[in-house]
Structure 1
Amino acid sequence: MSSKISIYTVLYILLISCNGVKEKPNLVLSNYASSEHLIEAKELVRIFKDENIKIVDFRNPKNYKNGHIYGSLNIWRTDVSDSSYPYEGMRSDKENIELFFGKIGISNDDLIVVYDDKGSSDAARLWCLLTYYDFKSVKILNGGLKSWESIGGKLSTKPISYPPTQFYLPEKRSEKLWIDKDELIGLITNESKNIILIDTRSSEEYSGSLIKKGASKAGRIATSIHTDWAEAVDLEGNKKFKSIEELQKVYKGVEMSAKDTVVVYCHTGYRSSLTTFVLTELMGFENVRNYDGSWVEWSYFDELPYEKDSIIL
């Protein structure tokens, strides 16, 4: 038996004995359109001993050091961002992601389970990024760190490391979940294209009464509709995704069908990644695009149309 398998077996036994999980836990049971990329804490306990599981704590390094799921790697926003732009938050390119994932020991045959402590908005960004590059073996831990703690899951303050690997993303990518500034401008200015543009930020950001760090001005992209990302999550409770019935109520006011072209954005593409996950995975919308640059990029260019306090500027 390899040392790695031995370690995982010990970890599994520790988790079971500490948590009191004696029966085989249920998978995600729901009437979501799909729960393929969603995993519950009890199911994570069951598969924890699998040699090809990599758990990713997608929080800033300080929070990671204060306590994380035992055995989890730490990845933060700056690790998967391109810093060459004059504004922050843009996704890293394929080659740099491959180099970084290989450096921290993630393999192509690994299942990545990602979590955060914010209601999965950061975790969804990593899911969205990897899905864009057609790497699909990734799941979001429903409820994040809170759900793990709620079942008595073991935490650690010690970082973990794995031997470096050769990690490769698929040669071809569908790019179906992402949209850049120029393509969005083309959709907005093309009268024959009927798109629904959703601003997933807070109501204060949407109205222009609040400007977050990194934005060049306050406001929103012209013609966008507001639906706060947090409405899809029990943010004040268990931090899990709401039921399909509750989600349908959240988006009831947005007149869109499953086949409509829907573009979502936020400040830097993180909160809108969660909305992308909700609409595509949980609700079954077929053509949802996450605007990577979001408001930070759009606000940088003075010539682009925006609104503030219901006045077109």
Structure 2
Amino acid sequence: MSGIETVASGIGALSGYVYPEVLVETAWVAEHLNTSAVRLIEADEDVLLYEIGHIPGAVKLNWHVDVQDKITRDFIDQQGFEQLMSRWGITNTTTVVFYGDRNNWYACYAFWLFTLYGHKRLKIMNGGRLKWEAERREMTRDVPHFECTSYTAQQADETIRAFHGTVWPGLRNSERRLIDVRSPQEYSGELLHMQEYPQEGAQRGGHIPGARNIPWSVALNADATFKCVEELRQIYLGQDITPDKDVITYCRIGERSALTWFVLAKLLGFPRVRNYDGSWTEWGNMVRAPIEK
């Protein structure tokens, strides 16, 4: 294991997380700003934040442009992912560190997508932009440029991704757990359209039958860092979300549920966790799809 993969991340084995290496602290990132084997990627819900200022050396991942297929409602394919990595100067051995706004929603979404295509050295900066800015650390408007690389991705590993065709037949499966990570108002159907996200609308409100409502935010502290392992276990095991179950997370478009996927799969080490990225934008608009309120 290389020096940049060790407990110098500031998390360490004492955290109790099953895979503590997937988190790094802001101090670790500050120490590795000039490390060529590390690439920082900012993934924000507010795509204009990067231009206002970002961590030196970080590249911008725009979810509306960089990782969306222009024809199908899907992500870029294996070749498109390889081209993106090459453009950002990333090799198969580069350590990629994600961070962003909104308590790392999209950073975790990016982590999940990169996992889908088999990149091994992936990390989340604990606390995201919020913590970096609160500590008054260095920011810049300079856009970095890197020499293109040759990158090889694996075929998409869809064992960590759920589709409606797998969710629907399993609604009566007692060994499966669905987690709706949205707000209680969205879960109940009281809130149908979120005014700030008109593109994520659905014709019906409610939730998938049998889904437990465990909002994504319960896994985080006030400073946007992840809660300790004991608190996380109490949250999820208390709702009968246990490692022996087949767990599927969802929200509206998959970004908030990717954070919960990250917590369960990487911090708690659950072996069978999938993110249903079609989420309520798909389910709430699907003909005859069963719902509960």
Aligned-residue CA RMSD (Å): 2.0
Answer yes or no: is 1:183 the counterpart of 2:169.
Answer: no
Q: Distance in 2 between matches of 1:130 and 1:98?
A: 11
Unaligned runs of 5+ in 1: 1-23, 309-313
Matches within 5 A, 1:297-308: 297-308=282-293
Deviation of 1:106 after TM superposition, in Å, equals 2.3
Given candidates 90, 107, 117, the residue that maps to 1:133 is 117
Deviations 1:24-82 (A, max 9, x none): 96621311122121111111223333211110011244110111101110002122123
- Tell me which residue corresponds to 1:262: 247
Q: Distance in 1 between matches of 2:289 and 2:149?
A: 43
Name the TM-score, length of structure 2 as normaliser: 0.87
Q: Distance in 2 between matches of 1:256 and 1:123?
A: 24
Rg comparison, structure with higher value: 1
Could you list the structure 1 runs, at least 4 aligned residues long, displaced by more than 4 angstroms after superposition: none
Deviation of 1:173 after TM superposition, in Å, equals 4.8
Q: Distance in 2 between matches of 1:266 and 1:91?
A: 17
Deviation of 1:152 after TM superposition, in Å, equals 3.9
- Tell me which residue corresponds to 1:198: 179
Aligned to 2:96, the other structure's residue is in SS state: strand
- Tell me which residue corresponds to 1:19: none
Deviation of 1:148 after TM superposition, in Å, equals 2.4
In the alignment of these two chains, the number of paired residues is: 277
Q: Distance in 1 between matches of 2:89 and 2:252?
A: 31
Answer yes or no: is 1:54 the counterpart of 2:39.
Answer: yes
Aligned to 2:171, the other structure's residue is in SS state: helix
State whether residues 25 and 42 of structure 1, in contact with CA within 8 Å, keep that contact through their aligned partners in structure 2: no
Aligned to 2:48, the other structure's residue is in SS state: helix
Q: Distance in 1 between matches of 2:70 and 2:255?
A: 16
Matches within 5 A, 1:273-312: 273-308=258-293
Amino acid at match of 1:72: A
State whether residues 42 and 151 of structure 1, in contact with CA within 8 Å, keep that contact through their aligned partners in structure 2: no
Deviations 1:265-308 (A, max 9, x none): 01100000000010111112111111121111112212111122
Matches within 5 A, 1:31-180: 31-59=16-44, 60-78=46-64, 79-85=66-72, 90-170=74-154, 172-180=155-163
- Tell me which residue corresponds to 1:220: 207
Aligned to 1:179, the other structure's residue is in SS state: coil
- Tell me which residue corresponds to 1:16: none
- Tell me which residue corresponds to 1:4: none
Q: Distance in 1 between matches of 2:156 and 2:49?
A: 33
Deviation of 1:151 after TM superposition, in Å, equals 4.2
Name the TM-score, length of structure 1 as normaliser: 0.82
Q: Distance in 2 between matches of 1:255 and 1:248?
A: 10
Deviation of 1:150 after TM superposition, in Å, equals 4.1
- Tell me which residue corresponds to 2:230: 245
* Percentage identity across paired residues of the two chains: 30
Deviation of 1:162 after TM superposition, in Å, equals 1.6
Q: From the superposition, tell whether residues 181 and 111 of structure 1 become closer, same or farther in structure 2 (CA, over 3 Å).
A: same
State whether residues 177 and 245 of structure 2, in contact with CA within 8 Å, keep that contact through their aligned partners in structure 1: yes
